[in-house]
Amino acid sequence: MHVPLVDLKAQYQNIQHEIEHSISSVISDTAFIGGKYVNQFERSFAELYGVKHCIPVANGTDSLYILMRMLGIGAGDEVITVANSWISSAETIGQTGARPVFVDVDPVYFSSMDEVSFEKAITPKTKAVIAVHLHGQMLQIDKIKVICDERNILLIEDCAQSHFASLGGKRAGTFGIAGSFSFYPGKNLGAYGDAGCIITNDDALAEKCRMYANHGSLKKHDHRMEGINSRMDGLQAAILSAKLPHVLQWTADRIRVAGTYDALLGSELHITIPKVRPGTVHTFHLYIIQCEKRDQLKDYLAEKNIETALHYPTILPLLPAYNHLGYTAANFPNAYKYQQACLSIPIYPEITNEQIQYVASAINAFYATGKGA
Ligand SMILES: *Cc1c(COP(=O)(O)O)cnc(C)c1O
């Protein structure tokens, strides 16, 4: 049996009609950039999140960059971010001229920074934090928000992996000054190309971001400042709108799949299953186990036609791109330990029970047959 890590084709086949209708509408209306499909998506997404503004942009990396630029972050500033993440949540800091300051992940949930390591990293130069809700798991956002409010630090949430995750019923992206989303195809809500957005309740920030993403103008030829070209295109917006009515069900399906894995893998002594932070909804963009003999297990699963991945094989501060900052693995003991042991196993809404059983039995068999000893 083949089990892919994600199966975008299965999703497409279930909603093929809606997708094809939305694509042909955009083309017959020639609404390629901006226009009614983009307007419609931004209204629906803002409504779903209960926020005043949704600013559609070209991708979830630009959304972070645009936010930081429009919040006045630049040379001389420090921005705190987490050691274990996709590079966007660090590289965009450098792009503004500011310096990224990496902190370790928390030792229980392993998903993102905790408030203790965050607070330790604050200096008089700290202007903002990129709070990354990784894997679909909320970080300790309530505690981090209290510290940000006390110390006058801008709280930017990177929700690229955590659409619809929540704490106490309040969704990721609505705690800080703004939330940043990616709609990269494999994300929990994915377009058929690059797309992203910013959500915020701050009117002035929303207007600036919207302007900056569109060459510094809100109206044609009325450039109030220099900007960039980071617009969502109509095809992506229409595809996202077609998917929106399904996304809460897909999210519930991911959570159900995670529960099945928990039950099948929870008693295996050689692995640790992901822990969900109490009071939160984890939306399982990824299901990551920590395991003994990780690389051997990965190879064994590949032989059984089961795709797995590492998120991430190298933590950000140890990448060549950040050599100049002089960090070592000893600076990030939890993230480094996670890097050595993490393995992402297949999860997507359409995965069948047979596939889940097959993956779990293969993992259990690896350890039971002594291969993992
Ligand atoms: C995917 C991702 C991004 C970037 O999104 P793109 O749309 O690919 O630019 C940013 N941060 C995190 C944590 C991500 O996983």
C-alpha angle 334/144/321, rounded to 5°? 50
Q: How far is the CA of 61 from the centre of ligand 1 (A)?
A: 6
Are residues 258 and 240 part of one domain?
A: no
Residue 372: per-residue pLDDT: 62
Residue 373: per-residue pLDDT: 57
Are residues 129 and 147 part of one domain?
A: yes
- Where helices occur in 50-138 by DSSP H, the ranges are 62-70, 88-95, 115-120
Q: Identify whether 1 is part of a domain.
A: no
Q: Identify whether 3 is part of a domain.
A: no
Indicate the Cα dihedral angle 288, 289, 293, 298, nearest 10°. Answer: -50
Q: How far is the CA of 264 from the centre of ligand 1 (A)?
A: 30
Residue 110: per-residue pLDDT: 80
End of a domain among 215, 245, 275? 245
Whether the CB of 348 sits within 6 Å of ligand 1: no
Whether the CB of 92 sits within 6 Å of ligand 1: no
Q: Identify whether 128 is part of a domain.
A: yes
Mutate to test the pocket of ligand 1, among 87, 138, 182, 233 (most ligand atoms within 8 A of CB): 182
Are residues 261 and 114 part of one domain?
A: no
Whether the CB of 84 sits within 6 Å of ligand 1: no
Residue whose Cα lies nearest atom 1 of ligand 1: it is: 160
**Could you tell me if 145 and 152 are in contact, meaning their C-beta atoms sit under 8 angstroms apart?**
no
Are residues 119 and 188 part of one domain?
A: yes
Token pair for residue 355?
A: 């596939």
Q: How many domains, the chain?
A: 2
Whether the CB of 161 sits within 6 Å of ligand 1: yes
Whether the CB of 164 sits within 6 Å of ligand 1: no
Give the mean pLDDT of 171-177: 98
Are residues 41 and 89 part of one domain?
A: yes
Residue 111: per-residue pLDDT: 75
Residue 359: per-residue pLDDT: 98
Q: How far is the CA of 241 from the centre of ligand 1 (A)?
A: 20
Whether the CB of 180 sits within 6 Å of ligand 1: no
Atom of ligand 1 nearest to the CA of 194: 7
Q: Identify whether 340 is part of a domain.
A: yes
Are residues 82 and 25 part of one domain?
A: yes
Are residues 241 and 101 part of one domain?
A: yes
Predicted TM-score (pTM) above 0.95: yes
Does the pLDDT value for residue 366 go beyond 70?
yes
Order of strands across the sheet that contains 166-167? 170-171, 166-167, 280-281
Give the mean pLDDT of 325-349: 97
Q: How far is the CA of 187 from the centre of ligand 1 (A)?
A: 9
Q: Residue 124 burial by CB count (10 A; 0-12/13-18/19+): exposed, middle or buried?
A: exposed
Give the mean pLDDT of 343-359: 98
**Could you tell me if 206 and 175 are in contact, meaning their C-beta atoms sit under 8 angstroms apart?**
no
Whether the CB of 334 sits within 6 Å of ligand 1: no
pLDDT digits (tens, 9 = 90+) for 46-60: 999 999 999 999 999
Are residues 255 and 187 part of one domain?
A: no
Residue whose Cα lies nearest atom 6 of ligand 1: it is: 60
Q: How far is the CA of 223 from the centre of ligand 1 (A)?
A: 29
Give the mean pLDDT of 152-180: 98
pLDDT digits (tens, 9 = 90+) for 253-271: 999 999 999 999 999 999 9
Are residues 145 and 229 part of one domain?
A: yes
Are residues 285 and 183 part of one domain?
A: no
> How large is the C-alpha radius of gyration of the chain?
21
End of a domain among 197, 226, 245? 245
Residue 114: per-residue pLDDT: 85
Token pair for residue 117?
A: 């390591």
Whether the CB of 189 sits within 6 Å of ligand 1: no
Atom of ligand 1 nearest to the CA of 183: 7
**Could you tell me if 79 and 129 are in contact, meaning their C-beta atoms sit under 8 angstroms apart?**
yes
Q: How far is the CA of 158 from the centre of ligand 1 (A)?
A: 8
Closest alpha carbon to 268 in 245, 297, 246, 232: 297
End of a domain among 245, 277, 305? 245
Residue 262: per-residue pLDDT: 98
Q: Identify whether 110 is part of a domain.
A: yes
Q: Identify whether 315 is part of a domain.
A: yes
Dist. CA 303–CA 255, nearest whole Å: 27
CATH code, domain with 329: 3.90.1150.10
Whether the CB of 88 sits within 6 Å of ligand 1: yes
Percent share of the chain, pLDDT over 90: 97
Dist. CA 368–CA 24, nearest whole Å: 53
Domain that holds residue 352: 247-368
Q: How far is the CA of 310 from the centre of ligand 1 (A)?
A: 16
pLDDT digits (tens, 9 = 90+) for 71-107: 999 999 999 999 999 999 999 999 999 999 999 999 9
Residue 118: per-residue pLDDT: 96
Mutate to test the pocket of ligand 1, among 129, 184, 288 (most ligand atoms within 8 A of CB): 184
Are residues 254 and 155 part of one domain?
A: no
pLDDT digits (tens, 9 = 90+) for 16-39: 999 999 999 999 999 999 899 999
Residue 294: per-residue pLDDT: 98
Residues in the chain: 373
Q: Identify whether 373 is part of a domain.
A: no
Atom of ligand 1 nearest to the CA of 161: 15
Q: Identify whether 339 is part of a domain.
A: yes
What are the residues whose beta carbons fall under 8 Å from the beta carbon of 268, sequence distance 6 or more? 363, 364, 367
Whether the CB of 166 sits within 6 Å of ligand 1: no
pLDDT digits (tens, 9 = 90+) for 183-207: 999 999 999 999 999 999 999 999 9
Residue 316: per-residue pLDDT: 98
Are residues 214 and 68 part of one domain?
A: yes
Residue 370: per-residue pLDDT: 72
Mean pLDDT, all residues of the chain: 97
CATH code, domain with 41: 3.40.640.10
| pLDDT band, very low/low/confident/very high, at 9 (cuts 50, 70, 90) | very high
Residue whose Cα lies nearest atom 2 of ligand 1: it is: 160
